[in-house]
Amino acid sequence: MSLERVEESLGRLGYAFVEDEEHPDVLRARFDDYRFQFMLTGDEHSVMQTRGRWNHTVDVSRKVEMVKLCNEWNMNRIWPKVYVRRESEGLLGVYGELASDFRSGALDDQIDRSINCGLSTVIAFFHSLEERLGAELDELDD
């Protein structure tokens, strides 16, 4: 497994991406206006991680509510893993990620499917969150 193979897969799938100059082991892209990154982790860099960040920020005063929404998702689904992370003194970010272990190797088609699965499930979570919050979305980024 290598970042070059992830780049090739993104190209095969027709997805635009950029390399991160500060973090050469990360590829960045936007899908449905959500920021995503693709990276290899693990001892042997054999775990491909697809991580997306919701395009809204949340005031820290709503942390319990957001954690409950994430926990509900995590209890009812296998993937993606979703969570809330403090990004500054008063703001939270909401993330979703899918990790695929390719320690035993991977066919191109497996990498493609992992990327598509990560993107579609993380975006489904973001859409679900937006549906649950409804009109409250307008209050989030103030």
Confidence check: pLDDT of 12 > 90: yes
Q: Name the token pair of 51.
A: 């991580």
Question: Which amino acid is it at 112?
Answer: D
Average pLDDT, integer, range 95-108: 96
Question: Which amino acid is it at 10?
Answer: L
> Can you give the pTM of this predicted structure?
0.93
Helix (H) / strand (E) element for 116: namely: helix 108-133
- Cβ-count burial 55-91 (b if 16+ within 10 Å, e if not): bbbbeeebeeebeebbeebeeeeebbbbbbeeeeeee
Instruction: Please enumerate in sequence order all residues whose Cβ is within 8 A of that of 128, keeping only pairs 6 or more positions apart, or say none.
Output: 73
* Domain count of the fold of the chain: 1
Q: Which one-letter DSSP state was computed for residue 118? A: H
Domain that holds residue 73: 3-140
At 117, is the pLDDT very low, low, confident or very high (cuts 50, 70, 90)? Answer: very high
Confidence check: pLDDT of 136 > 60: yes
- Taking the C-alpha atoms of residue 83 and residue 68, their distance in angstroms, rounded to an integer, is 10
> Residue 112 belongs to a domain with what CATH number?
3.30.1460.10
